[in-house]
A and B are shown apart, each in its own frame.
Chain A
Amino acid sequence: MTEPVLALEGLTVRFGSRRVVEDLTLRIGPGEVLGLAGESGSGKSTAALAILGDLGPGGRIEAGSLRFEGRELRGLAEREWRALRGAGIALVGQEPMAALNPSMRVGAQLAEVPRLHGRASRAEARAAARRALEELRLPDPDRMLAAYPHQLSGGQLQRIVLAMALMAEPRLLILDEPTTALDVTVEAEIMALLRGIRRTRGTAMLFIGHDLALMAGICDRLAVLYAGRLAEAGPVAQIFERARHPYTQALLAALPRIYAARRPPAPLPGSQPLPQDRPPGCAFAPRCTHARRGLCDRDPVPLETVALDAVVRCLRWREIDGAPEAAPALPGPDIGGPILEVEGLTRRFGSGRGTVHALQEASFTAFEGETLAIVGESGCGKSTLARLLMGLERADAGTIRLRGVEVQDRLAGRRPRDLTAAMQMVFQNPSDTLNPAIPAGRQVMRALELFQGGLPARTLREGLADLLGLVRLSPALAQRMPRALSGGQRQRVGIARALAGDPAVLVADEPVSALDASVQAAVIGTLLELQRTRRATLLFISHDLALVRQIADRVMVLYLGRIMEIGPAHRIFGALCHPYTRALLDAAPRPDPGAPPPSPLSGERPSALTPPSGCPFHGRCPRRAELPETLCEDRLPPLAEVAPGHRIRCHLPPERLRF
């Protein structure tokens, strides 16, 4: 058996009195890619920092061993660590913008690596930096080398960070959520690069992430971390085919599947415990449907080898059947008449360097009781649309009719009370949606006071209890400050607050994108159930096509401020769609280790400051060659109806847009 590149044996890391990582055993062979999956707070990033000897003040390794190429890393002197970092083990982190020094040119930061490790001369280092950028297919490397980080896009920066990590030819590359901050098309591009590096260089990698679908596309083996402990590890195909640990099973069931039937992802109750509140026994037991009292909640559960190269930490894995119950399919919506009509809505921002066209001539209608998903990458105008609808910003042109009343000229606070109550919003960021200085219940209460003004205090208190019950929160949580609530609970309070006025339209701006996978499904479930029972219209803004596929009745796709396509979900995902929608679908990772890798979209997304003429997508469109010379550059295609209720903005005839 060959020497593994990295072998962790019973690694335990403490911060103060809290054990963040406990008894972690992993090994990575030469050229192997190991995925370390877990939710935020599971200890996966801490494990990476322990491997790099950079736990920072307060953190220390309490027990276990770390061996890199056979050499014990615990107790290494600072000088030895320096020689190892970069050259032996390198890290690529989550936020490329933050990872680069804002006041240093990219070239200088890259050239530092060979200067530190290879004792290269200044000119050699510079040449090496240029080569590294060329290898990662960055256009115009000389310009990049002379640029400051803020002058480049997120995708370019992440490629530069990757180039920097590879420059000293490390034997192990640690990737800590390398694509989380990026758009789906850029993500596909970075993943393709990583697969290429693996093929050509054979670098061993530790891929840390929370998105199992993404990890399926690159990892050989997968290790799942829950509350600081390894829940399960094994070859990736085996795990996707037959996960043994109930947590892994639940994670897989909660994954939205883009080509699956239309049903919401299966929810998992509760959330991961914090390091200080981990229960004795199995940490997952309180959320596990298979947990047995007196068995699972007593002693720490040992890790058990269950097959060649596969381990699981569960006492009952033999008795548990593979897949958990899937969530029931959604009943068909009961769709009524139009409730929200938008006509030619336009929003421009003047900045020092020109005008940003955030939204251009958007027209659509939302019907009573339906779920309309609004999809697009960052900067496409989807959040601007939400802010315009809510009256947080004023439109430059166009009309918004809510229940037939024009509201575009009335900012929030100037609208009559019943129209304010009729359209409410659920926000994206759970740490920001509730006011951190006010108890959670009082924030819902205030909304009740405003919308149901004049009611006696007792009725309001009952109303609060009802609302909390609706979003499945215990009334006791009302007294808590937001920071004492989990992310999922905060989002639920936010939903309850939006429901206080019994809204006809609920605008949800990426309501679950900041939540952990296992919590996401449950919040989505609550949202959909409320929408169905109350026959509210849900405008669901998202970048996650797989999720949209499973819950939306109709889908609207935005690109650079323009609606590119709008139509019934089953047609867009099943019959024919715009080339851009197609590219988004292709770029989405598939939760299937055997699937062909997603194909990235070529080219950089143009800046909204200098939108392309004609069709905004023409520069990156894979079908561009099929049309005559300058048609796409010259003329903006109309949003033409290709079937009842399905409109596409493309010069190609509909029959050539079929799957």
Chain B
Amino acid sequence: MRVAAILLRRLGALLATALCLSLLVFWLTHLPPNLEKLAKSQGSARMSDAEVASWLERSGFDRPVPVLYGEWLGLLPKAGCGRCGVVQGDWGQSTVFRQPVAEVLGRSLAATGWLMLWVMVVMVPTALALGVLAGMREGSRTDRAISVATILTAATPEYVSGVVLVALFASATAGLSPLLHETGWIEGRTLFQGTASGAMNGITFWNFALPVVTVALYGTGYVARITRAAMADAMTQPYVRTARLKGASQSRIVLVHALRNALVAPVTVILLQLPWLLNGVVIVETLFAYKGFGWTLVQAAGNNDIELLLGCATVAVTLVLATQGLSDLAYRALNPRLRAR
């Protein structure tokens, strides 16, 4: 009963946030200069101010933003189709791709889904293992080595790691590839492929490894740092001493007693990482020309494709809010103190 009330309240807050944010995005994309640009790109680039005004009037953009927002959302009737907005599943038409927004989004989200999946598969086990190993014995040689490595990767944004990785593994003139090519280890001119556009038709290790590693690198460092801190903290807790003084072995202490309590922080952080991964995904998809969600967002924003941009924003914000809610639930589930309430 109480849990249901909490969930309901959360859901209400999420909904309020989503509405506020979509209104904000809608307002920002419908600022006069943006509309003017839209008019010029749809009409002709050399339109006079009067022509722009009349184009906007004809397209219905001269009405107040709240009305337009209501129509887009599907709460107000739109000329031509009654109530047809996001709520009814009509996301509008993309001007860049000349396709319905829903179609474009569906395709690009599927592509990004694969990327995210592999990133998680690489990142989560690596980060947790490194963090636990480092935090188990704070100040040891292992800890220091792992700490330097994780601080390094956590200081490397995707556009840096991507560039460095491509230069190292996918450049015909620098890094490893020329060496390997000359000695006959590889047949092609580069070890990995510098673009992932081929991955749209079929994912292979050679076209997907670099983008996945590029996205995973930053998150791995970050999550490993959090795990290490939580683990190191757990290892100094009195209950760990109790376990040791019961005669438990080091592995039992780490795996049974410390790990469970230390995992609370990283698990919530991993979930909160998802929005940040979204950033990485945008950068990496641009860098490797992988036509996923991030690439679509950049195309929409760069070409003033308002309806597609609104769609992207809605999806992104929903994703972020969902992960926030999920991380909240995970925190409760992992913490018996909170679960009891």
Contact = CB atoms under 8 A, between A and B. Distances in A.
Do A and B interact directly, with beta carbons closer than 8 Å? yes
Interface of A: 52, 54, 57, 78, 82-87, 90-91, 93, 95, 98-104, 112-113, 116-117, 148, 150-151, 161, 164, 168, 352-353
Contacts of B341: 352-353
Nearest to A94: B238
Interface stretch (B20-28, B79-87, B244-252, B300-308): B244-252
B335 interface: yes
Q: Which 8 pairs from chain A and chain B are nearest by CB? A: A86-B247, A98-B238, A86-B246, A85-B247, A101-B239, A148-B336, A99-B242, A82-B247
A103 B243 CA distance: 13
A148 B340 contact: yes
Contact of B139 (A57, A102, A161): A57
A256 to B, nearest CB: 30
Given A101-B257, A150-B340, A54 B246 contact: no
B335 A103 contact: yes
Contacts of B256: 104
B245 A85 contact: yes
Given A100-B239, A352-B341, A54 B244 contact: yes
A352 B246 CA distance: 37
A432 to B, nearest CB: 21
A293 B65 CA distance: 90
Interface in B308-341: 334-337, 340-341
Nearest to B336: A148
Contacts of A103: 260-261, 334-336
Contacts of A54: 241, 244-245
A78 B251 CA distance: 13
Contacts of B334: 103
A106 B335 CA distance: 15
Given A95-B238, A148-B336, A352-B341, A104 B245 contact: no
B48 interface: no
Secondary structure at the B interface, as helix, strand, loop or mixed, is helix
B257 to A, nearest CB: 6
A161 to B, nearest CB: 8
Given A148-B336, A150-B336, A116 B248 contact: yes
Contact of B239 (A78, A90, A98, A148): A98
A101 to B, nearest CB: 4
18 contacts: A52-B245, A85-B244, A93-B241, A95-B238, A98-B237, A98-B238, A98-B239, A100-B242, A101-B242, A101-B260, A101-B261, A102-B336, A112-B246, A116-B252, A148-B337, A161-B242, A352-B341, A353-B341
Contacts of A78: 250
A98 B234 CA distance: 11
A83 B247 CA distance: 6
A103 B337 CA distance: 8
Contacts of A82: 247-249
Most buried by A among B139, B248, B252: B248
A286 B99 CA distance: 89
Contact of B245 (A83, A86, A100): A86
B239 A99 contact: yes
Which of A103, A150, A151 has its CB near the most chain B CB atoms (within 10 A)? A103
Nearest to B240: A101
A100 B247 CA distance: 15
A104 B260 contact: yes
Contacts of A353: 341
B246 A85 contact: yes
A19 to B, nearest CB: 22
Contacts of A161: 242
A501 to B, nearest CB: 42
Interface of B: 2, 139, 237-239, 241-250, 252, 256-257, 260-261, 334-337, 340-341
Nearest to B337: A150
A573 to B, nearest CB: 38
A117 B247 contact: yes
Contact of A151 (B139, B248, B340): B340
A607 B131 CA distance: 41
A294 to B, nearest CB: 45
A87 B247 contact: yes
Contacts of B257: 101, 104
Contacts of B340: 148, 150-151
A57 B235 CA distance: 12
Contact of A102 (B244, B248, B337): B337
Nearest to B237: A98
A353 B2 CA distance: 10
A43 to B, nearest CB: 18
A90 B238 CA distance: 14
Nearest to B334: A103
A113 B256 CA distance: 14
A117 B247 CA distance: 8
Contacts of A83: 247
A24 to B, nearest CB: 20
B246 A164 contact: yes
Nearest to A167: B246
A85 B239 CA distance: 15
A332 B116 CA distance: 80
B179 to A, nearest CB: 45
A103 B264 CA distance: 10
Nearest to A117: B247
Contacts of B244: 54, 85
Contacts of B243: 101, 112
Contacts of A57: 139
A382 B261 CA distance: 35
Nearest to B140: A57
Nearest to B138: A57
A98 B2 CA distance: 28
A100 B257 CA distance: 10
Contacts of A52: 245
A628 to B, nearest CB: 40
A101 B139 CA distance: 24
Given A54-B241, A168-B247, 17 more contacts: A54-B244, A87-B247, A90-B246, A95-B238, A99-B239, A99-B241, A100-B239, A102-B337, A103-B261, A103-B336, A104-B257, A104-B260, A116-B246, A116-B248, A164-B242, A164-B246, A353-B341
A161 B243 CA distance: 11
A99 B247 CA distance: 15
A180 to B, nearest CB: 14
A82 B247 CA distance: 4
Contacts of B246: 85-86, 90, 112-113, 116, 164
Contacts of B337: 102, 148, 150
A100 B242 CA distance: 7
B7 to A, nearest CB: 15
Contacts of B250: 78
A93 B238 CA distance: 9
Contacts of A93: 238, 241-242
A42 B184 CA distance: 71
Contacts of A101: 239, 242-243, 257, 260-261
A638 to B, nearest CB: 38
A95 B242 CA distance: 11
A104 B139 CA distance: 28
B236 to A, nearest CB: 9
A103 B234 CA distance: 12
Contacts of B252: 116
A527 B260 CA distance: 48
B243 to A, nearest CB: 7
A99 B246 CA distance: 11
B46 to A, nearest CB: 65
B330 to A, nearest CB: 14
A98 to B, nearest CB: 4
Contacts of B242: 91, 93, 99-101, 161, 164
A113 B247 CA distance: 8
Nearest to B244: A54
Contacts of B247: 82-87, 113, 116-117, 168
B336 A91 contact: no
